[in-house]
Structure 1
Amino acid sequence: MSEPVRFVCSGQVVTVGRDVPHTMTVLDYLRRQLRRTGTKEGCAEGDCGACTVVIGELSDGGGLRYRAVNACILFVHQLDGKALFTVEDLAEGEKLHPVQQAMVDAHGSQCGFCTPGFVMSLFAYFHQHAAPDDDSLKDALAGNLCRCTGYRPILEAGRRMFELAQDDRFSRAEAALAAQLAGLKRSRMLRHSTAAGEFIAPGSIAELAEVLAGRPQGETWILAGGTDVGLWVTKQRRSPRSIVYLGRVAELQRIADHGDRIEIGAGVTYKDAFAAIQALHPEFARMLRRLGSEQIRNSGTLGGNVANGSPIGDSMPAMIALGATVQLRSRSGSRSLALEDFYLGYRKTALQAGEFVESVTVMKPKTDSRFAVYKLSKRFDQDISAVLGAFHVILDGGQVAGARIGFGGMAAVPARARKTEAALLGRRLAEAEIAPAVAALAEDFQPLSDMRASSTYRLLAAQNLLRKFCAEVNEGRRIGVEAAQ
């Protein structure tokens, strides 16, 4: 039996019928079905931010949580049970919203193509902060590209909107919207069938395991945030027979504290997952800031990044360095693997038929441990790593008693530098003593040359990152706070 997808837009419940393909993006639905053309398409891959919309959903405390996301790589079926805000919602007749008025006052628009996306990113920021600060404001707008105005007046608008108002009509109507969303909650699994295929959203981990059992892997896509899967549709023009969505599986949205470690469900977003890890390992802060835009971090998941297995994924080398394990689940049971053993080859993982990533576990730091992660890329914001190095050592009397080093961009998979680790054991981190470990990196990796970096550059850069880490630890400086660029 096919059930309709329902979400709230402009205070009304919108019903998505069977005529809407299971791979239709929110951007296409807005422009083609609802005729809301304020939301623009610039790149169709989640990079430019012109398509930014805001999602409202119930928080654990019963209030409303606002998230800026990219409509171009979000499927409309993922909106089920949520509220959607677009640029058309903001003004009341001729009266502009404080965000819009601030953009006018600060002269923050020229051609106007990117402006709706900026406005919606600022709208989300307005609802997430009591007052602006430059760092968080710049982070919130890093996923929105402007090609003619320049960012100074847009940043000024972000500051000015708080001078114009401290709340808005959406804040005052939150209780009513929360009640409306509560009425859309489902008590059973969502199955939405169309002529093109089927969208399935299990409500529990048991239902998820049952749905995936026996299904052909090539015909069924597992969907978490869509930051990769969305591009398979918009850029590669692929369409699966079935999409199985993880967003309603409560067990996958949890972060659990187990004393000496934390367990992060595969459905937890980058933003929430790394906030939890950053609380234990503050050096994660810079990597989080550079892992995609605010929109991507609000949608993409740690579990999805791990399962995708890209050799240049930013989270995996850091997780490997921290000794992370991955929990796999299927109808027949569960098993645990060290994260570095999960990757078997380029884009090839240890996942078996019917199996999925359930969670990732990260150990808490020890008092004698030192950890840092460095990313090298051509741009600071929103750029894929040429090399990412993560370093974790345990010291005993100033000597290395344990070492774990993870690299991305150096091999076909995220990988440990095992020979380098061995060469560090028993040594102090002075320049003269680490020379064998620096040389051992050439035995651990023979990187490829591609559009991002040459093999020679990658190896030399990796060696210099090791030197940088050792120097910072040896000199007693705060490590990891100044990310390499």
Structure 2
Amino acid sequence: MRDTIRFIKGGVIVELHDVGPTETVLDYLRLRRKETGTKEGCGEGDCGACTVALGRVIDGRLIYQPVNSCIQLLGMVDGTELVTVEDLAQDKRLHPVQQAMMELHGSQCGFCTPGFIMTLFTLYHAEGEAKSRKTVTEWLAGNLCRCTGYRPIVDAALEACFNLADDAFTWRSNETREQLKKLADSRDIFLGTSDRFFSSPASLDGLAALYGQHPDATLVSGATDVGLWITKHLRDLPKTIWLGRIEGLDRVEESESGILMGATATFAATEAAMTRISPDLGELWKRIGSKQVRASGTVGGNIANGSPIGDSPPALIALGATLELQSADTDRALALEDFFIDYGKQDRLPGEFVTGLFVPRPSANQVFHCYKISKRFDQDISSVMAAFRFTIVDGRIIDARIAYGGMAGTPKRASGAEAALKGAILEDASTWAAAIEALNSDFTPLTDMRASAEYRMETARALLAKALMETDGTAAESVRVLAKREADHDRAA
């Protein structure tokens, strides 16, 4: 067992013994290191002012990803290279991204500027990205600027980020890879006492044993939700167990039958595979948070926290996904919809944790659609999330799986609408009416700050009709997906 965390900062290996269970990377940088270039804005991972980059070796390549340091626990940087805005300039020469931001007037008050620069630093080092305003605005969806406006920032990105990377990080990449390999080990991490600790098991057996001893501990995967418990709810979490070092728990395995993913597979890591299941899923994944959130946030975490407005569960339920759970004594599988019992309550026994998820691939006679309705197109919580899988034989629906989020205390199937759709004829819209009407019995939505109950019900009904129209071919999917995204990106640019 190891009683330190280790990471690279400025080319030097840093080793820390005194890491609290809820200490964030932002607090470490500003309060301990006195490196104040990284700013605190929203404190919840929305504005991007606190963005830093984490470097990891993935499939033999050194990859830099942006993360929100305000909700990233310090212990979670173990085994990575931590890069902040202070690290970019070399020998008093600005980094190419910094130089372009200066020359093209991408900064006014400057508060948000370090976060923009760090996100663009990760784009600068990304491979295979098409040079376009659309690419830039997708990368910058998690960075907000109130005074400069986005045009000069996008211009700076176009100027700097699509040439062959040529900076100090490129020059010492081989050395960094070797350093990161030395930091990687299979020892469990435990810092603190039995009453207050940060821990990180390296194996499922280690996790099962530790969680069995401390079933009151908080399991942390990407911290994109737990981080807000700390910064916004001001909750004291004396025992935290980070899952990010468990071997194999981040797996993403594709087969003809579907996708098997581990509980710590991030949205970024699963995006391509989910897009291959359905373009709708690819669009949904792109709208879950920002680049920073998707680099840290995990599909398993989005499920395990049991939020009624989580984006992924309705889509996965409609596809017939199966959840894997394990404890020190047992392991089991259950249909994903059965995991959600009531608001804030899941079918998870003391000491039991989610280990993975299997997502079936639709068969040749099945059609899948999903839609996210929110006030903002990017980086917003759903008002209504809807997903549909129809099994069709000879133009007739013989089976339907329909799931909604935001309509009840849990993600929930519309059993009445599903039953009413059986036998419906796609070319005869009158045969759909009973299913659309059945939604009134399936759900009793609430009114809150995101939407009224009336709006939610009307939207749910309209989305079912829309899915059926698109399946019938009377509505153009390309209009829904592509034109909407292009219009939003044009406005953002």
- Which residue in 2 is equivalent to 1:74? 72
- Residue of 451, 454, 457 corresponding to 1:453: 451
**Cα distance in structure 2, aligned partners of 1:166 and 1:72:** 28
**Cα distance in structure 2, aligned partners of 1:470 and 1:433:** 11
Deviation at 1:479, TM superposition (A): 3.6
- Residue of 309, 325, 329 corresponding to 1:328: 325
**Worse-superposed segment, 223-232 or 234-243:** 234-243
- Which residue in 1 is equivalent to 2:410? 413
Q: Match of 1:201, as an amino acid?
A: S
Report sequence identity in percent: 46
**Cα distance in structure 2, aligned partners of 1:459 and 1:15:** 54
Alpha carbons of 1:194 and 1:111: their partners in 2 closer, same or farther (altered >3 Å)?
A: farther
Q: CA RMSD in A?
A: 1.7
**Worse-superposed segment, 126-135 or 47-56:** 126-135
**Cα distance in structure 1, aligned partners of 2:163 and 2:317:** 47
- Which residue in 2 is equivalent to 1:141? 140
Q: Secondary structure at the match of 2:308?
A: coil
Alpha carbons of 1:402 and 1:480: their partners in 2 closer, same or farther (altered >3 Å)?
A: farther
- Residue of 226, 229, 232 corresponding to 2:229: 232
User: Are the counterparts in 1 of residues 322 and 357 from structure 2 also a CA contact under 8 Å?
Assistant: yes
- Residue of 340, 344, 353 corresponding to 1:343: 340
**Cα distance in structure 2, aligned partners of 1:177 and 1:192:** 26
Q: Deviation digits for residues 224-245 of structure 1, max 9, x if unmatched?
A: 0000111111112222221111
Instruction: Please tell me whether residue 51 in structure 1 is matched to residue 60 in structure 2.
Output: no
- Residue of 75, 100, 103 corresponding to 2:101: 103
Q: Match of 2:143, as an amino acid?
A: N
Q: Match of 1:39, as an amino acid?
A: T
Q: Match of 2:215, as an amino acid?
A: P
> Pairwise mapping of residues 73-472 of structure 1 onto structure 2 (< 5 A)?
73-130=71-128, 132-162=131-161, 166-193=165-192, 197-217=196-216, 220-429=217-426, 430-472=428-470
Aligned residues: 481
**Cα distance in structure 2, aligned partners of 1:9 and 1:475:** 54
Deviation at 1:261, TM superposition (A): 2.1
Q: Match of 1:12, as an amino acid?
A: V
Q: Deviation digits for residues 430-480 of structure 1, max 9, x if unmatched?
A: 322211011000010010111111111100110001111111111265548
Deviation at 1:285, TM superposition (A): 1.8
Deviation at 1:163, TM superposition (A): 6.6
**Cα distance in structure 1, aligned partners of 2:479 and 2:27:** 41
Unaligned runs of 5+ in 2: 486-493
User: Are the counterparts in 2 of residues 286 and 482 from structure 1 also a CA contact under 8 Å?
Assistant: no
**Cα distance in structure 2, aligned partners of 1:332 and 1:16:** 34
Please give the TM-score of this superposition, normalised by the length of structure 1.
0.96
User: Are the counterparts in 2 of residues 371 and 479 from structure 1 also a CA contact under 8 Å?
Assistant: no
Deviation at 1:215, TM superposition (A): 1.9
Unaligned runs of 5+ in 1: none
- Which residue in 1 is equivalent to 2:10? 10
**Cα distance in structure 2, aligned partners of 1:115 and 1:196:** 40
Give every structure 1 segment of 4 or more consecutive aligned residues whose post-TM-superposition deviation is greater than 3 Å: 162-166, 476-481
User: Are the counterparts in 1 of residues 265 and 300 from structure 2 also a CA contact under 8 Å?
Assistant: yes
- Which residue in 2 is equivalent to 1:40? 39
Q: Deviation digits for residues 311-332 of structure 1, max 9, x if unmatched?
A: 0000000000100010111111
Alpha carbons of 1:336 and 1:481: their partners in 2 closer, same or farther (altered >3 Å)?
A: farther
**Cα distance in structure 1, aligned partners of 2:181 and 2:410:** 43
**Cα distance in structure 2, aligned partners of 1:163 and 1:350:** 47
Q: Secondary structure at the match of 2:101?
A: helix
User: Are the counterparts in 2 of residues 283 and 480 from structure 1 also a CA contact under 8 Å?
Assistant: no
